[in-house]
Amino acid sequence: MIQVNTSSSLELNTKEDALLLSQALMPVFEDLQQLKPLLKKYLAVKTESGRKILQHVFASEGKLVRPAMFLLVSRMLAYRGKHLMPIAAVCEYVHTASLLHDDVVDNSKLRRNKPTSNSIWGDESAVLVGDLIYSTASELMAQTGYLEIVTVFASSIKKMSEGELLQLEHLFSLDITQDTYFAILGGKTAVLMGAACRAAGILAEASDEQKQALEGFGYSLGIAFQLIDDALDYQSEQSVFGKEIYADLGEGKVTLPLILLQDCAKPSELGSLEQIFAKDRINSSDMQYVASLVKQYKTPERVLEIARDYTQRALSLLIDHFPANDDRNHLENLAKSLVHRSH
């Protein structure tokens, strides 16, 4: 059983992180190995540029967290039907396509410690390949014959787009509320994790109450996952985080570690922050000053505590709606491993 470190420290421990995650994924290791070549197989394209971008995108594998969640829930519900691998692929496709589009919107140059597709082939090609991935995911959803599968993923894609638009509306805005911030988080990460878990319930023909609990589990875990990501943006190192440190800050994104400064920083410090964000651009020295305040007041550690609350909320939904067994334990272990991470 995975034990979660209850310390609020954000010190890097990538070996322990990797071990915890690999242990949590072990029950679906063979399924994930089977999925990897299928991710490329389902995306058969005729254009050379499309093939090159897709090869680049899938060259360095991500954690496959979303398909892993789907597969672990499917395992808990004893579903092993013919749609298992296609919908596992959908979970990763929707995530991957959103990243391609987000990198264009954010003008990102680095992801997973390698150049982004848009920085190599241009924004237009990256967006079109993202669209291609979305359309392939839609075909795989439709092939299941479950309208609810199509509906839940279509709804998540819509909410992801709305979350991105909401974030754009609040760039360089220090007066962003926590309610707005959590609405953005829901769109960035949580709705897709919720959809992945609910999709397994749909295929397994679980009860409406159980499907709702599964979606709530994934959503709450997604909030916790993104909270930690936002905390690590101020505490991690580029070599392990996989993207530029202070990347969100440089793009004018006001996340919870910065929002929490409103309650503890001195008036003079808040005044300096207002002057920085009023310029609608943040240079290197500005970043260093903002980051120093965040570290001084230890707001990332407070964000971690909130993330743990959301994780506990997710675990409670599993405990309340599904019987205790090894398969439920495996899903709990994945949830705990995602909280205890440094990248």
Please check whether residue 269 is in contact with residue 326, taking contact to mean a CB–CB distance below 8 angstroms: no
**Residue 308 token pair:** 């743990």
Neighbours of 30 (CB within 10 A): 10
Please check whether residue 122 is in contact with residue 114, taking contact to mean a CB–CB distance below 8 angstroms: no
Residue where the block lists tokens 């207002």: 274
How many whole angstroms separate alpha carbon 187 and alpha carbon 166?
9
Q: Which of 42-46, 272-276, 290-294 has the lowest mean pLDDT?
A: 42-46
Please give the full DSSP string across 127-144, using - where no structure is assigned: HHHHHHHHHHHHHHHHTT
Q: pLDDT digit string (tens) for 29-64?
A: 999 999 999 999 999 888 999 999 999 998 877 789
> Which pLDDT does position 39 carry in this prediction?
95
Angstrom CA distances, 242 to 113, 146, 151, 283, 342, stand at: 4, 37, 33, 21, 11
Angstrom CA distances, 218 to 111, 116, 330, stand at: 24, 27, 14
Helices (H), the chain: 14-25, 29-41, 48-57, 65-76, 84-106, 117-121, 123-142, 147-169, 178-185, 191-203, 208-235, 238-241, 247-250, 256-259, 267-278, 284-296, 299-321, 326-339
More confident call, 83 vs 21:
83
Q: What percentage of the chain has pLDDT greater than the value 90?
A: 74
SS3 188: helix
Find the mean pLDDT for residues 268-296.
Answer: 93
pTM for the model: 0.90
Angstrom CA distances, 302 to 75, 222, 342, stand at: 34, 18, 16
Parse the chain into domains and list their residue ranges.
14-339
Reply yes or no on whether the pLDDT at 219 is more than 80: yes
> Which pLDDT does position 161 carry in this prediction?
94
Q: pLDDT digit string (tens) for 134-168?
A: 999 999 999 999 999 999 999 999 999 999 999 99
Which one of 3.40.190.10, 2.60.120.260, 1.10.600.10, 3.40.50.720 gives the CATH number of domain 14-339?
1.10.600.10
> Which pLDDT does position 11 carry in this prediction?
41
* Residues with Cβ within 8 Å of residue 158, at least 6 apart in sequence: none
Backbone torsions φ then ψ of 9, nearest 5 degrees: -70, 145
Find the mean pLDDT for residues 207-217.
Answer: 98
